[in-house]
Chain A
């Protein structure tokens, strides 16, 4: 069993929110200021899914601070999880699946770090982890569910099985997961942090409500009036957001629905370098893409404007 009471302590989690200012004011700040809210040992939940709408600008800024002892969770963890492992930033990864995608095979980094016992992966089913965030978003310590029963996954985290108080049937009591900090990337927000997401919602809305602190990057900062014209599209209210940063291409080279496509060739080159040099290749990647460029603009410049424009063209084509 690896879940800790802190993850599902709904009273403590509520207490953290009750003590917090639910500001309707300005949230715009810098990446550096936003990630300064993360403390060593925190549990961080990343929004998006696999290589879709990953909060890479925030994760990159975070890793530049050389954090230690973090737990990270994400429903499908992509290479940002490998960065955190190789950077020595994480003590635990909570996920339902970790790799880059089918064409690239098993992750050699996950194999190296998990098989040697350096970083444990606490595995849940996809819905199981989704319901952990949902339970926390609802402010309750667990949710009953019909999934994961009978499988070895029940024992990994230490989930409890309960008897339904009405029917007597067995139910999985999926424990809530209240992260300390949520890292999210959205399509647009006003300066008060009212956020709108296009296309895939992933688990971002639940994660934003589950976490004690919410950090957001947005592709576009729009006017208050624009949000007020389309309030039905707002899925995260401003008062739960603590820091907002305007970062166009903030998920690149992962995709942002309707705005830009992912870069599978970049993932391919990354995996090839790992096949050749193991985790040293990830260290080199971090030096080149994370620790090296001082600003996000310098990071994007490593890919070049032609690549960005081409990714935008493909991304727009895929929603037409």
Chain B
């Protein structure tokens, strides 16, 4: 799939836009796929001091180009890591408050950034489609200081309601997340193949803040299952640069994740 410019794939666009959200000397908890690519790209561009945490229980890996991990628990994910604390203890570092940013994807998302990766349709016991489950996504979204969601933008994913809240965003909006006991964090950004979204501070409803080049608000509306709020200061993102794309393709020459 080409998006946001000639020859740029959906995952390349997500990785580039995701990488730009990260700052130097941050700690980031990253899931497999585009989030991992985004973190690795940021490390090699503007954020050399970024420390990555991976849910297999890995701190500070430096992945080998051409040998990117398929899962967050296999040997490639730990390549040249600084520490392997174990899975439970890695997440407990997030619960303690050491993780600035969490980076996850999602199968189904609603206007409050709630994610469903468990079960679609029917009941939980007898779903129409059983998905793989939370893995670490619920913990990342619950325990990091802020969370960025990276996802392909499709109408079936951007849904009026989610059938099951695997990973809580702002729940029903307003103060509901805090009231549920989630005292920290929350979803700050949703990076999609069409643009960048934030959340309205009071209602916590998703709001379009930037469009990728060549994408219109109408296109976003047509691909979203809920009303799209649009920021008064809507901007356009800068397309991926040759340098950014070059680094991604150097990291993943076989284009396994791009």
Name the 6 nearest CB pairs between A and B, nearest first.
A150-B180, A170-B181, A130-B88, A125-B138, A97-B135, A127-B91
In this complex, how many residues of chain B approach chain A with their Cβ under 8 Å: the count is 56
Tell whether, in the assembled complex, residue B75 and residue A75 are in contact, meaning their CB atoms are under 8 Å apart. no
Q: Compute how far the CA of A130 lies from the CA of B73 in the bound complex, rounded to whole angstroms.
A: 15
Could you give 12 example pairs across A and B, Cβ below 8 Å?
A: A95-B133, A103-B256, A106-B132, A110-B130, A127-B143, A146-B184, A148-B142, A199-B75, A201-B84, A202-B87, A264-B70, A318-B67
- Whether A147 contacts B125 in the complex (CB less than 8 A), given A126-B134, A199-B84, comes out as no
Of the listed stretches A31-39, A116-124, A216-224, A238-246, chain B binds: A116-124
**CB-defined contacts of A96 to chain B, threshold 8 Å:** 133-136
Q: Compute how far the CA of A150 lies from the CA of B177 in the bound complex, rounded to whole angstroms.
A: 7
Give B residues with C-beta under 8 Å from A.
Answer: 32-33, 55-57, 67, 70-71, 73-76, 78-79, 84-88, 91-92, 95, 118, 122, 124-139, 142-143, 164-168, 171, 176-177, 180-184, 256
Tell whether, in the assembled complex, residue B133 and residue A150 are in contact, meaning their CB atoms are under 8 Å apart. no
**CB-defined contacts of A130 to chain B, threshold 8 Å:** 87-88, 91
Per DSSP, are chain B's interface residues mostly helix, strand or loop, or mixed?
A: loop
Q: Any chain B CB within 8 A of the CB of A294?
A: no
**CB-defined contacts of B131 to chain A, threshold 8 Å:** 106
Q: Any chain B CB within 8 A of the CB of A312?
A: no
Q: Compute how far the CA of A299 lies from the CA of B201 in the bound complex, rounded to whole angstroms.
A: 59
How many whole Å from B82's CB to the nearest CB in chain A? Answer: 13
Tell whether, in the assembled complex, residue A150 and residue B130 are in contact, meaning their CB atoms are under 8 Å apart. no
How many whole Å from B80's CB to the nearest CB in chain A? Answer: 10
Q: Compute how far the CA of A110 lies from the CA of B129 in the bound complex, rounded to whole angstroms.
A: 10
Tell whether, in the assembled complex, residue A171 and residue B74 are in contact, meaning their CB atoms are under 8 Å apart. no
Closest to A254 in B: B74
Q: Any chain B CB within 8 A of the CB of A283?
A: no
**CB-defined contacts of B86 to chain A, threshold 8 Å:** 200-203, 205
Q: Compute how far the CA of A265 lies from the CA of B256 in the bound complex, rounded to whole angstroms.
A: 14
**CB-defined contacts of A274 to chain B, threshold 8 Å:** none
* Given A75-B87, A115-B127, A130-B87, 17 extra CB contacts under 8 A: A51-B71, A95-B133, A96-B133, A96-B134, A114-B127, A115-B129, A125-B139, A126-B91, A127-B88, A130-B88, A147-B143, A150-B182, A151-B142, A151-B165, A151-B168, A255-B74, A318-B79
Tell whether, in the assembled complex, residue B134 and residue A123 are in contact, meaning their CB atoms are under 8 Å apart. yes
Q: Compute how far the CA of A172 lies from the CA of B166 in the bound complex, rounded to whole angstroms.
A: 15
Partner of A126, one of B55, B85, B164, B176: B55
How many whole Å from A250's CB to the nearest CB in chain B? Answer: 17
Closest to B127 in A: A115
